[in-house]
Amino acid sequence: MTNSKELFSEVVRQITLPEAKAEIESIVYLLFEKIWKLTRTDIITEKKTGLQLKDVAPFITRINTHEPIQYILGEADFFGKVFRVTPDVLIPRPETELLIHEILTHTKSIDKPNVLDIGTGSGCIAISLALEMPCVVQAIDVSLNALSVAQENATLLKAPVKFYQQNILQQPIIEKFDLIVSNPPYISQQEKQHMKQNVLDYEPHTALFPIGDDPLVFYRVITRQAQQALRKGGSLWFEINEHYTNEISEIMITNGFENVTVVKDWNGKERVVWGTNS
């Protein structure tokens, strides 16, 4: 290869994922930028480089086994920050940024709220909130490995978040909070067959699929606990599975939450449900 553009085109050609060419190109652009500091402009302008196909070959092999590019790179972008990720945590999704945006929009009037993030994973929600608004943030997860990743992210990003191991299905919330947020496991067993191989084969199933046959078990348990743990007027925030919007809203209303609101993402999918504790 004589230049970065030719090398880029050859790498794209050798990737065999069942994805559109634009998606494959976005993966390769990300790889070139993060590993070899070659920008899109460098590639488009055919910048000369000592990089050879043999240097990229191991990455092509991993990509072709459907390993997510974020795990290959060991990082993912979220809400303007770079988070470390490993197979112990779910890869932060752009859709979850809507959850952060909505919380920031609707809680401006609360003076330094106490916040609890349930099922924190990489810590992306808790850390983003801690960095974006004056608040006191705690975060819990059942996985010690996930908590280790979250703590590393908080340290790297200088976010004042306290992390604890807790199984929300078995251990109650004992403190009082102004805001509780969760992006719990919400993919039903029936939806597995429609999922991409890179998600099924590599991302942690405990963060994807609820335990047992009830896909809403985490919403039921968290809502009941939040009704007791939230101060009057405090708010509960969920990222949701669009197929269960009505059921999740009803769970919140039945447990005494008011002004229950559904927010759609930029793809028109119902993505966030929140309400206030009466």
Q: What is the pLDDT of residue 214?
A: 81
Task: Please tell us whether the domain made up of 84-277 is placed in CATH 3.40.50.150.
Answer: yes
Q: What is the pTM of this model?
A: 0.91
Say whether pLDDT at 190 is over 80.
no
Each residue's pLDDT tens digit, 107-148: 877 889 999 999 999 999 999 999 999 999 999 999 999 999
pLDDT in tens, 251-271: 999 999 999 999 999 999 999
Q: With the C-alpha atoms ordered 163, 98, 201, 16, is the resulting torsion angle positive or negative?
A: negative
d(CA 70, CA 111): 36
**101-120 b/e (C-beta count within 10 Å ≥ 16 → b):** ebbeebbeebeebbbbbbbb
Degrees to nearest 5, angle at CA 221 with 89 and 126: 40
